[in-house]
Amino acid sequence: MDAEIRFFEVGPRDGLQNESRVLSCEDRAAMIEGLVDAGVRDVEIGSFVHPRWVPQMAQTDEVARQIRRVEGVRYWALVPNLKGLERAAAADVQHVAVFMSATEAHNQSNLNRSLDESLAALKRTTEAAVAQGMVVRAYISTVFGCPFEGDVDFERVLEIGEELLANGAEHLSLGDTIGAGTPLQVAEGCAQAVERFGEDRVALHLHDTQGLAVANALLAYQAGVRLFDGAVGGMGGCPYAPGAAGNLASEDLVNLMLSMGARVDADLGGLCEVTDWLSQEVGLNTRSRYYPYWRSQQEQDT
Amino acid sequence: MDAEIRFFEVGPRDGLQNESRVLSCEDRAAMIEGLVDAGVRDVEIGSFVHPRWVPQMAQTDEVARQIRRVEGVRYWALVPNLKGLERAAAADVQHVAVFMSATEAHNQSNLNRSLDESLAALKRTTEAAVAQGMVVRAYISTVFGCPFEGDVDFERVLEIGEELLANGAEHLSLGDTIGAGTPLQVAEGCAQAVERFGEDRVALHLHDTQGLAVANALLAYQAGVRLFDGAVGGMGGCPYAPGAAGNLASEDLVNLMLSMGARVDADLGGLCEVTDWLSQEVGLNTRSRYYPYWRSQQEQDT
């Protein structure tokens, strides 16, 4: 196997939004620039959700202005609605992510809307974005398990995905928001999604709640997924999902893919340098498996 | 898939021997009894290596005497030589583990002997044990990578394994001592070992140095391995192998196997209770992925 993996870094958004500490705009910008220096080509820099709901993501406008933009890198931000889209456009963010759940109960809890209302709202936002020449990612959360409903009908996930892509989204990100997925289940769902939509249109977004994220990523890779989300340092979670732990760490994902013989656009050592900075300078608790090993190797070399 | 997995708990030996704190005999015995209460049917209770080398394993005789023995459970101890075998017999330990490396450099560093010298010594110990009606496990370490030699010739591992089994060992434990193995490599090696020796004679012993232990266990399972080592709480490592992190945590392994639809003799919740006791009462740093999730669930339920 010698596949090409695209890596999508969500740490500055999905990672930081669940940290109790709010980082300064300067630190958020430095984190993003560090990730881009590590070869990251898709990076989610923040969200335009109202700061009342997610104070960690306040001033994403300012972060967007501060970062030195690099040619060929796509800087993404989460937008909850048309108002968020306006703020993204005003901050010169041309890549936006819309989001909804696969289950009524989680969607109501997280977004205070029914699935049909979310589908209609995402259609408006996506069409408005595309009309302005923007590129849209569509997150579907709780695709492999819901904290309220339990098992999820994956056929419903595929139907929602179909509709979001038909609206004009470039690709989907299928989120195991509470880390409830098991390897064979994730592989089966991903195989169906890749077959239906194509490998360029399906990202997998894993959380490591029960310690299965690496196993799930492995079988998803073997099932044909070529685009993976990760959060550097394994930070993050979902504040609205009970029991949800951090995202699959970017460095653990990239190390896994390299171990399988895949090529990845992001650099493993460079990602570890960002985690090292977050851990040693910013003082966040990082949770990746690979980073402590990398650090012990650095210490031996010096 | 509905396979039957046998689980072999090495925490009271391979886990504790690399902790800086030395546990009391009472705590070691309580840990072993907790594991047996959790359904563990093979448990390594300690080693009869000289306490000058591994002070954490001093008084394994006393631990063996203190534990309440349960019918059907096999209590194992590591024995380095005939003297260790005598001590095991005197402590009524009828299941003993002998050990050597797959590489000259690691064997010299760890045991101060050549591979040929180790093979001869293990033959003497194994034959003496079998003559007394004991059962023997044979560890081969560094089978997927050596801290001194790098890549390991797996054909040599199989030859060593063949010889150890011919001496009378009941089964082998193939050790990724420094956690250098990658999923396809581990799967390929395990498939060869299982084909050559049979699934009852091959255990896989993983360390999570680089965060790949769960991925390696998954593909090894798919390659036919049915006997896995783990250390409760993910403790342990190898004091003679630079950069080696803890063992694959028993609870992470068992959770993975259950997620694949396998049946496992050990109980996931029961293992987490042992980790909880080690973490909260004994005060050790545990490193499993599943245990924090289990604990958050317990807290929600109370």
* Short-list B85, B77, B92, CA closest to B28: B77
Minimal CA separation from A50 to chain B, in Å: 29
d(CA B38, CA B35): 5
Contacts of A262 in chain B (CB under 8 A): none
Q: How far is C-alpha A164 from the chain's CA centre?
A: 17
CB neighbours of A128 closer than 8 A, spacing ≥ 6? A82, A85
Check residue B70 and give its pLDDT.
98
How many CB atoms are closer than 10 A to CB A121? 17
Mean pLDDT of A264-286: 95
CB of B39 within 8 Å of a chain A CB? The answer is no
Q: Which residues pair with B110 in a beta bridge?
A: none
Mean pLDDT of A270-276: 98
Q: Within 13 A of B238's CA, how many CA atoms are on the CB side?
A: 27
Residue A241 confidence class, pLDDT cut points 50, 70, 90: very low
Residue A90 confidence class, pLDDT cut points 50, 70, 90: very high
CB neighbours of A89 closer than 8 A, spacing ≥ 6? A132, A134
Contacts of B290 in chain A (CB under 8 A): 210-211
Active site residue A272: no
Inter-residue contact B62 to B68 (CB < 8 Å): no
Q: Least CA distance to B290: which residue of chain A?
A: A210
Burial of B258 (0-12, 13-18, 19+ CB in 10 A): middle
CB contact under 8 A, A289 and B243: no
Cα-based distances in Å from B98 to A44, B120, B124: 52, 12, 11
Minimal CA separation from A287 to chain B, in Å: 10
Query: ipTM for the complex?
Result: 0.94
Long-range interactions of B55-59: CB distance < 8 A, separation 24+: B55/B22, B56/B16, B56/B17, B56/B18, B56/B19, B56/B22, B56/B23, B57/B13, B57/B16, B57/B17, B58/B22, B59/B25
- DSSP state at residue B71: T
Domains and CATH numbers, chain B: 4-301 (3.20.20.70)
Q: Least CA distance to A294: which residue of chain B?
A: B210
Phi/psi for B175 (5° steps) reads -105, 120
Q: Is residue A243 predicted with pLDDT exceeding 50?
A: no
Q: Profile chain B (302 residues) by mean pLDDT over runs of 10 residues.
A: 91 92 96 98 97 92 98 98 97 98 95 96 98 98 95 97 98 95 98 98 96 97 98 76 73 98 97 96 90 89 74
Mean pLDDT of A136-150: 96
Contacts of B215 in chain A (CB under 8 A): 214-215, 218, 256, 259
